[in-house]
Amino acid sequence: MADSTVHLSPFLRFSPVIARALNDVLGGAAASVLTVTLGLSYAVLIFAGPLAPDLGTGVGVTFMASAVLALVIGVGSSLRFAIAAPEASTAAMTGIVASSLVERITAADPSSPLLAPVLVTFGLVSIATGLVLCTFGVTRIGRAIRYIPYPVVGGFLGATGCLILLGAIRVITGQPLQLATLGSFANTTTLFELGAACAMAAVLYLTWHRSRTPIGLPLILVAGTLAAHLAFWLAGISPAEAQRLGWTFHPPEQIGLVWPWTAQAIVHYPWSTLPELSGNLIAVIFVTASSTLFNTTGVEVATLREADLERELNVTGLANILCGALGGYPGCISVSRSILNFSAGGRGRLSGLTSAAISASMLIVAPALLGFMPKLVLGGLLVYLGSDTLHKWIVQSRRRLTMPEYLSLLAIILIILKWGFVAGILIGVVIGCTIFALSASRASSIKFGFDGTEYRSSLDRSRDEQALLSTHGSEIQGLKLQSYLFFGSANRLYQHVKALLQRHPECRFLVFDFKLVTGIDSSAAYSFDQIKRAALDRGIDLVLVHLPPGATKALRDNGFVSPEVRIVQELDHALEWCENEIIAQHRGHAQEEASLRDWLTQILGNGDDAAQLSRCCERLEVRAGEIIVRAGDPADSMHFILDGRVGIMIPAEQDGMTRVRSLGRYTTIGEMGLVSRTPRSATIQAEVDSVLYVLNAHQFDAIKIEAPALSHKLLTYFVSVMAERLTFANRTIAVLRR
């Protein structure tokens, strides 16, 4: 009994390991069914037309690439159950590169061999793709591809779907769909072939597309193959006749693997065509990199497993370099195959090794399998893949995109089909950036606005100061800014400020709070310079708060930061400074108005009349040297000089001006012009900073109607002033006559 226990315990101990290994093998085998069927489709897609005689080598290259990708990525991926192989997008791009190369070679020399240059091109593009992927992985810039605008990615993949669909038509009919070949599509056999393939695609859509069961696609393809052969048998068509009529593929005699890097192949390679193919080569690199990132993310979401994107890029890069060294074309991790393996129970690296072994075995089995495979099955699979991609990016994406984004996606698809992938991607990025800029410019850069009556500093003030701020607080206008300020949003800010200043002509302080601003660009700095000019023209002080270093540099480099612009660290301190200025100014105005009433009381002999006249006058503050009125202007006002000094100027020789008289505080000027309404005979200029109160003709006429007594007192004052000036003039004349 003890002996039996000793012998059974190792089996019991290792049976879970065996169970896990068995699950991995079964999962990898299930995923390999997809690899085999899709691999055959990709081979006939790429090696069609002039390359059809080399289909055997194409099948060998496809399964060699599938084996290498499954092996390397299966061993090195951060997702231990990952299955890799050529994907529809990478295969479609490889087919475009191959057909473009063949067109150029045959145009130059129709008798030139095609296979060797094609395999060398596969190797070059795979090695270049691998090096770029490794660079992305090592430098950690692979995530930058996710910053490409979504419509650009959608347009790129939508164009890939179109190319897969066009390639499917070439696989089914043996000729490309072009204007020159439209007539050949009118025969009955070709239409039947296309109809049968479309029926197969419809079956895939109605069954596997809706259920997405892991084993569904392989079963449908096998059932489609058997159904096609049953239809041939019922129609009395033998397998040989089906091949002759083009319903099935002509099987290659053997699967061949050709070493591409021979001296003869390298010497005779058309190196001059590489610059012309550069656009398509870049497109292969782009689609492989994007497929690696997007497929990895898709597997993460479907399996709830986290992947290391940098590691995936490095491992995929190494796998593609090895593929290129052997003459294979690019590939990456597969979403459908990895999920199928995971659903079947595969969790370990043995799944990838199993898939690699089955792909390698197809180098022996594939010829017979391909000869048995109807074109309508593989062609229908390609039609389904292309149509599904088009439906996803042309129909379904409409619900996720705005109209400008959707139109840009369609435009990118058309540009790619017309001028190639590089033109489509570059123009698409420009369109995407333009749409983003327009969309972002519509977003307000202003979080909220405020004025000094509703938002004040934290300083406690006396009741009279609070009352003064309640009355004049609207002289402070503030804006809380947000987000990144660039040419679009900053211009809208400038327009908002102009409208704000028109609504609040009393504004004296304009406060900008940059606390929520992440940065500004040079064009935004120009918009702030426009705001500065508009503010200075109105005598408004600019106050900037929480200005970040980057914004400070941008504004300083633009010349915006100057002594006229005040920069404060805290909004509370900025508001306190503005409030202090308002209080000081209006207290000074109150004293000034009291002084004006005292003076007018002396003139008019009555305080009520003085108060009424002061209310009719408009305060005018002028700088030294500023012209108050010019000679020849209409005499439509008079001035009470409360403070400062003004000069009466007349023209002199050599376009100069001569002062004939100067008037100081508590004097008036322009009385007779207000009465006689004759044009000004001299220019009045401020000699120092001065404060004047202006009584215009409209207010004077109103006084004559509404307050005749006050009007009479004013006229009496005007006469007395003129009498004093006439007496002074007579004395001056008497002196000059001596």
Query: Which strands, in side-by-side order, build the sheet including 683-686?
Result: 627-629, 683-686, 646-651, 657-663
Residue 375, pLDDT above cutoff 70: yes
What are 468's two structure tokens? 């003064």
Q: Helix %, strand %, coil % for the chain, to 5?
A: 70, 10, 20
Kindly report, residue by residue over 446-474, the tens digit of the pLDDT: 888 888 888 888 776 766 677 788 888 89
Residues 613, 371: Cα–Cα separation, whole Å: 111
Which of 144, 100, 114, 154 minimizes the C-alpha distance to 278? 100
Residue 131, H or E segment? helix 115-139
Residue 142, pLDDT above cutoff 80: no
Highest mean pLDDT among 194-208, 306-320, 673-687: 306-320
Kindly report, residue by residue over 478-497, the tens digit of the pLDDT: 999 988 787 667 778 888 89
Whether the model clears a pTM of 0.85, i.e. scores above it, the answer is no
In Å, how far from its chain's centre is CA 111? 49
Position of tokens 């229908």?
Answer: 380
Query: DSSP label at 256?
Result: -
What is the pLDDT averaged over residues 53-79?
92
Residues 127, 133: Cα–Cα separation, whole Å: 10
CATH 2.60.120.10 domain range(s) in the chain:
596-737
Residue 738, pLDDT above cutoff 60: no
Which of 378, 322, 326, 360 minimizes the C-alpha distance to 48? 378
Residues 323, 218: Cα–Cα separation, whole Å: 26
Query: Which strands, in side-by-side order, build the sheet including 509-520?
Result: 446-451, 476-485, 509-520, 541-545, 565-568
Residue 441, pLDDT above cutoff 70: no
Which residues, in sequence order, are CB contacts of 600 under 8 Å at separation 6+?
609, 610, 613, 614, 640
What is the pLDDT averaged over residues 633-662?
83
Which of 583, 574, 569 minimizes the C-alpha distance to 541? 574
DSSP secondary structure string for all residues of 156-202: HHHHHHHHHHHHHHHHHHSS---GGGGGGGGSHHHHHHHHHHHHHHH
Q: Provide the pairing of β-strand 332-333 with 446-451.
A: unpaired
DSSP-derived 3-state class of residue 626? coil
Which of 289, 341, 334 minimizes the C-alpha distance to 314? 289
Torsion angle of the four alpha carbons 167, 170, 171, 172, in this order, in degrees rounded to the nearest 10: 120
Burial 73-111 (b: 16+ CB within 10 A, else e): bbebbbbbbbbbbbbbbbbbbbbbbbbbbbeebeeeeee
Residue 166, pLDDT above cutoff 70: yes
Residue 89, pLDDT above cutoff 90: no
Confidence label for 731 from pLDDT (cuts 50, 70 and 90): low
Per-residue pLDDT at 556: 82
Which of 331, 248, 368 minimizes the C-alpha distance to 64? 331
Q: Which residue type sits at 584? A: A
DSSP secondary structure string for all residues of 537-559: HTTPEEEEES--HHHHHHHHHTT
| Phi, psi of 642, rounded to the nearest 5 degrees | -85, -35
What are 625's two structure tokens? 């040297």
Per-residue pLDDT at 352: 94
Kindly report, residue by residue over 503-561, the tens digit of the pLDDT: 999 999 999 999 888 888 777 788 888 888 888 888 899 999 988 887 888 888 777 88
Q: Provide the pairing of β-strand 690-696 with 637-643.
A: antiparallel
Between 270 and 19, the more confident residue is: 270
Per-residue pLDDT at 52: 83
Position of tokens 């500065």?
Answer: 532
Fold of 446-585: Transcription Regulator spoIIAA (3.30.750)
Residue 72, pLDDT above cutoff 90: yes
Kindly report, residue by residue over 599-619, the tens digit of the pLDDT: 888 888 888 888 888 889 998
CATH 3.30.750.24 domain range(s) in the chain:
446-585
CATH among 2.60.120.10, 1.20.120.1200, 3.50.30.60, 3.40.50.620 for 596-737: 2.60.120.10
Tell me the β-bridge partners of 682. Answer: none
Per-residue pLDDT at 333: 93
Residues 606, 617: Cα–Cα separation, whole Å: 17
Per-residue pLDDT at 1: 38
Average pLDDT, rounded, for the chain: 82
Residues 658, 643: Cα–Cα separation, whole Å: 22
Burial 325-350 (b: 16+ CB within 10 A, else e): ebbbbbbbbbbbbbbbbbbbbbbbbb
Lowest mean pLDDT among 64-73, 319-328, 606-615: 606-615
Residue 225: how many other CB atoms lie within 10 Å: 20
What is the pLDDT averaged over residues 369-389?
78
How distant, in Å, are the alpha carbons of 125, 474, 702 from that of 471?
Answer: 75, 8, 28
- E-strand spans in 178-309? none
Residues 103, 114: Cα–Cα separation, whole Å: 10
Between 588 and 352, the more confident residue is: 352
Per-residue pLDDT at 237: 85
Angle at 439 between CA 436 and CA 445, to 5 degrees: 110
Between 40 and 324, the more confident residue is: 324
DSSP-derived 3-state class of residue 333? strand
Confidence label for 13 from pLDDT (cuts 50, 70 and 90): very low
Between 8 and 588, the more confident residue is: 588
Position of tokens 């810039």?
Answer: 141
Confidence label for 10 from pLDDT (cuts 50, 70 and 90): very low
Q: Are 617 and 640 in contact (CB under 8 A)?
A: yes
Position of tokens 């991609």?
Answer: 389
Which of 421, 424, 388, 387 minimizes the C-alpha distance to 409? 424
Between 246 and 636, the more confident residue is: 636
Confidence label for 442 from pLDDT (cuts 50, 70 and 90): low
Which residues, in sequence order, are CB contacts of 264 under 8 Å at separation 6+?
116
Kindly report, residue by residue over 392-426, the tens digit of the pLDDT: 878 888 887 778 878 888 888 888 778 766 677 67
Per-residue pLDDT at 2: 41
Which residues, in sequence order, are CB contacts of 683 under 8 Å at separation 6+?
627, 629, 630, 631, 648, 649, 650, 657
Residue 378: how many other CB atoms lie within 10 Å: 29
Q: Provide the pairing of β-strand 683-686 with 646-651.
A: antiparallel
